[in-house]
């Protein structure tokens, strides 16, 4: 696992007692995860799904559809102690990312700042 002070935006975090990639994306207004990523790594994730108000999202690759939101505890290793956050991720039906993406919504809430590169 990586430390939060690393200069890269991608790190490995602990989710449900296993390691997963997470990208801190200062260009994303909300935190997202792809449905196919959840299907591959979290059995029965759909039982934790909450409805969402926004259904359509835009990205550089086009329009994407939300099927709801899911809350996952993220544990980030830090040399002064682990950091635990509980972000709500928008689950996108047609996204192809294979990571959790932490958007500016939770970066602001938890005071996470990407170091200058």
* Burial of 86 (C-beta count, 10 Å sphere; 0-12/13-18/19+): exposed
pTM (two decimals): 0.83
Q: What's the pLDDT at 5?
A: 41
Looking at the predicted structure, is the pLDDT value of residue 105 above 90?
no
Q: What's the pLDDT at 1?
A: 38
Distance (Å, whole) CA 106 – CA 3: 18
Q: What's the pLDDT at 29?
A: 83
Q: Where are the beta strands (DSSP E) in the chain?
A: 10-15, 18-24, 32-34, 56-59, 62-71, 74-76, 83-85, 88-92, 100-102
């Amino acid at each position: 696992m990586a430390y939060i002070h690393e200069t890269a935006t991608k790190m490995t975090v602990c989710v449900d007692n296993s390691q997963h990639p997470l990208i801190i994306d200062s260009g994303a207004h909300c935190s997202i995860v792809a449905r196919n990523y959840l299907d591959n790594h979290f059995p029965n994730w759909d039982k934790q799904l909450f409805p969402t108000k926004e259904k359509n999202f835009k990205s550089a690759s086009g329009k994407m559809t939300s099927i709801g939101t899911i809350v996952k505890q993220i544990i980030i290793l830090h040399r002064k102690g682990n950091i635990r956050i509980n972000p709500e991720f928008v689950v996108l039906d047609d996204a192809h990312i294979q990571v959790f993406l932490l958007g500016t919504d939770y970066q602001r809430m938890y005071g996470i700042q990407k170091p200058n590169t």
